[in-house]
């Protein structure tokens, strides 16, 4: 497919297919909840540990959802940049250093997107490498989902509780997270293709009810409705030291993962799901979209954001197809931010970690299944190698080594 083929669209509809670009129904609502498992754990971690502003962070997420839905016209994920987010939560770096990384990401993605360099790079990335990135991301999502259910993720370890915001931690000898995760997992399997009672709505709804009845109520008592507006540069301008640290420690390790997962794997998956409607999802458009989102995050004091193949797989599997899903969840985050401000954490805390874990497991499984179109031994070898290197080191290294090996295997002298 020509990723840069121009299209003409009518308002609210795709002119090539006649399908509505924005639908608002139960399936779009369910799919819009699909990537909460990728957003909330790192977002909450960066708020509690690194001091990011809940108002600025979630307002930025909501605005980015809306922008992506209006432009791409198909369901489009919003995720934290995981290398930066995971390092930030694990080490407790300052909000200013995270803010500086957002500006660096903006500059890098704007340059390679606006100049077309990303398109040139994309032409030389073999498909087995893209499958390796997708499979690796899927494995990481499933692993993280299981950890959230078992109570062993990094955030839960820092909070010293499997379910930090539930007053009850166990039913007898059985951890409550295991019970909630097991029940919601079975319900998801039963309802995954049910259009009347979509699985993601059940998972999130049951999770919130669990938080209401068994939660600690942290933040709910002091909740005040009003109109809350964000401060620009809430932590001030980062220092030169912050910018240097952010470039060397946060941004450079993030870039290969962003190119592999948020640009190439995401565009490839979008074109699989939406052969006609997804033609706006190009390498160039994704880079510029993420650049603008991170410039917004820099000014609002939010987190570095990207698109991602894992979030897209999850949203699609749970029923989202159009930009309407983005407008739905975007409006929810914007409303929470503007009407609750810093108090919105009381609502976020209602959703148990184990419920988020269930969403992640099914997102990862869906993404991993993209491997099924690899037919030859050489094609299969590259994704498996990328997964192995990712688990031993990280996805950025797996991506780069996978490219080298894929080209080496083009030689008829080499076999696997």
Query: Which tens digits make up the pLDDT trace of 138-195?
Result: 999 899 999 999 999 988 988 889 999 999 999 999 999 999 999 999 999 999 989 8
Give dist(CA 368, CA 381) in Å, integer. Answer: 15
Q: Is the pLDDT of residue 126 over 60?
A: yes
Determine, yes or no, domain membership for 1: no
Around Cβ 357, how many Cβ atoms within 10 Å? 27
Question: Bigger pLDDT: 106 or 257?
Answer: 106
Determine, yes or no, domain membership for 194: yes
Q: Is the pLDDT of residue 119 over 50?
A: yes
What pLDDT does residue 13 have? 54
**Which residue range is the domain that position 305 belongs to?**
20-408
Determine, yes or no, domain membership for 13: no
Determine, yes or no, domain membership for 11: no
Determine, yes or no, domain membership for 346: yes
Nearest to 361 by CA among 402, 313, 322, 407: 313
What pLDDT does residue 176 have? 95
pLDDT digits (tens, 9 = 90+) for 387-396: 999 999 888 8
What pLDDT does residue 10 have? 35
Determine, yes or no, domain membership for 15: no
Number of structural domains the chain divides into:
1
High-pLDDT (> 70) share of the chain, %: 95
Average pLDDT, the chain: 91
Determine, yes or no, domain membership for 142: yes
Give dist(CA 101, CA 105) in Å, integer. Answer: 6
What pLDDT does residue 257 have? 86
pTM, whole model, 2 decimals? Answer: 0.88
CA dihedral 207, 208, 210, 216 (to 10 degrees): 130
Determine, yes or no, domain membership for 5: no
Per-residue pLDDT, averaged over 33-45, amounts to 90
What pLDDT does residue 367 have? 87
By the 10 Å C-beta count (0-12 exposed, 13-18 middle, 19+ buried), 286 is classed as: buried
Q: Is the pLDDT of residue 7 over 70?
A: no
Confidence of residue 415 (pLDDT cuts 50, 70, 90): confident
What pLDDT does residue 18 have? 44
DSSP H helical ranges for 92-236: 95-114, 117-123, 127-150, 154-159, 176-191, 199-214
What pLDDT does residue 218 have? 81
pLDDT digits (tens, 9 = 90+) for 291-342: 999 999 999 999 999 998 989 999 999 999 999 999 999 999 999 999 999 8
Backbone angles phi, psi at 173, to 5 degrees: -85, -5
């Amino acid at each position: 497919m020509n990723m840069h083929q121009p299209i003409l669209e009518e308002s609210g509809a795709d002119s090539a297919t006649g399908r509505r670009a924005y639908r608002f129904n139960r399936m779009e609502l369910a799919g819009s909840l699909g990537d909460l498992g990728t957003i909330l754990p790192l977002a909450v971690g960066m708020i509690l540990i690194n001091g990011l502003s809940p108002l600025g962070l979630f307002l930025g997420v909501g605005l980015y959802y809306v922008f992506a839905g209006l432009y791409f016209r198909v369901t489009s994920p919003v995720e934290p940049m995981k290398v930066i987010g995971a390092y930030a939560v694990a080490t407790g770096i300052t909000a200013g250093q995270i803010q500086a990384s957002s500006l660096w990401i903006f500059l890098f993605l704007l340059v390679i997107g606006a100049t077309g360099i990303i398109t040139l790079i994309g032409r030389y990335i073999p498909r087995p490498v893209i499958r390796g990135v997708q499979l690796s991301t899927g494995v990481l999502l499933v692993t993280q989902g299981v950890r959230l259910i078992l109570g062993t993720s990094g955030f839960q370890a820092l909070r010293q509780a499997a379910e930090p915001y539930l007053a009850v931690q166990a039913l007898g000898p059985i951890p409550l997270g295991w019970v909630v995760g097991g029940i919601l997992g079975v319900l998801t399997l039963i309802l995954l293709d049910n259009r009347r009672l979509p699985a993601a709505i059940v998972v999130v709804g049951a999770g919130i009810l669990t938080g209401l009845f068994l939660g600690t109520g942290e933040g709910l008592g002091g909740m005040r409705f009003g109109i809350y507006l964000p401060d620009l540069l809430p932590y001030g301008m980062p220092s030169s030291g912050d910018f240097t640290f952010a470039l060397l420690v946060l941004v450079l390790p993030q870039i290969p993962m962003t190119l592999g997962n948020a640009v190439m794997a995401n565009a490839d998956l979008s074109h699989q799901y939406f052969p006609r409607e997804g033609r706006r999802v190009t390498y160039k458009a994704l880079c510029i979209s993420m650049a603008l989102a991170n410039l917004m995050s820099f000014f609002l004091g939010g987190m570095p954001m990207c698109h991602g193949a894992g979030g897209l797989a999850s949203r699609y599997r749970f029923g989202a197809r159009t930009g309407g899903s983005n407008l739905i969840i975007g409006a929810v985050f914007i409303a929470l931010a503007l009407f609750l401000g810093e108090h919105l954490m009381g609502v976020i805390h209602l959703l148990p970690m184990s419920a988020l874990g269930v969403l992640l497991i099914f997102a990862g499984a869906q993404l991993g299944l993209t491997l099924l179109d690899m037919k030859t031994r050489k094609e299969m070898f590259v994704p498996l190698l990328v997964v192995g290197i990712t688990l031993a080191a990280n996805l950025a290294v797996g991506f780069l080594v996978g490219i080298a090996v894929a080209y080496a295997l083009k030689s008829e002298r080499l076999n696997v």
